[in-house]
Amino acid sequence: MGAGGCGRVWPAGDALSGAPIHGMVFGMATAKITITLEDDQVEAIREYVAAGKASSISAFVKHAVGVALFDAAGWRTMLDDALHQTGGPLTNEERVWADELLRDPVKRKGAGKNRAA
């Protein structure tokens, strides 16, 4: 199944090609939401729409979410495969270590201290 569970994998160029995006499944449930983006991101999306590279802001964002979900699913599959090859799920200690390693450096304890220049 494609990104977002809609049964359709969106090629990378659909929202940016200027061609109308089709593919809504008849009866497919949708929801309007509010999102917050940086001003420069909104302006960049508006420029794509104005140039005809995306049919609408909504279509651009919908495509971007689909790509991100597809990418996340790929990473999940790769992680599951790697864990399977190396002994199964993470232990609690390994998870704590990984969480600490991946945490925002600003929030990490002692981040940046005692490092060579």
Residue 8, pLDDT score: 46
Whole-model pTM: value is 0.51
Q: What is the C-alpha to C-alpha distance for residues 41 and 35, in angstroms, rounded to an integer?
A: 12
Q: Could you tell me the two tokens for 60?
A: 């651009």
> Which residue do the tokens 């220049």 mark?
117
7: alpha, beta or left? (left if phi > 0; alpha if psi -120 to 50): left
Residue 27, pLDDT score: 62
How many contiguous H segments (helices) and E segments (strands) does the chain have? 3, 0
Averages of pLDDT over each 10 residues, the chain, 117 residues: 43 50 62 94 97 95 94 88 89 91 72 51
Residues 6+ positions from 111 with CB-CB distance below 8 Å = 105
Burial, 53: exposed, middle or buried (Cβ in 10 Å; 0-12, 13-18, 19+)? middle
Q: What is the C-alpha to C-alpha distance for residues 24 and 57, in angstroms, rounded to an integer?
A: 16
Burial, 87: exposed, middle or buried (Cβ in 10 Å; 0-12, 13-18, 19+)? exposed
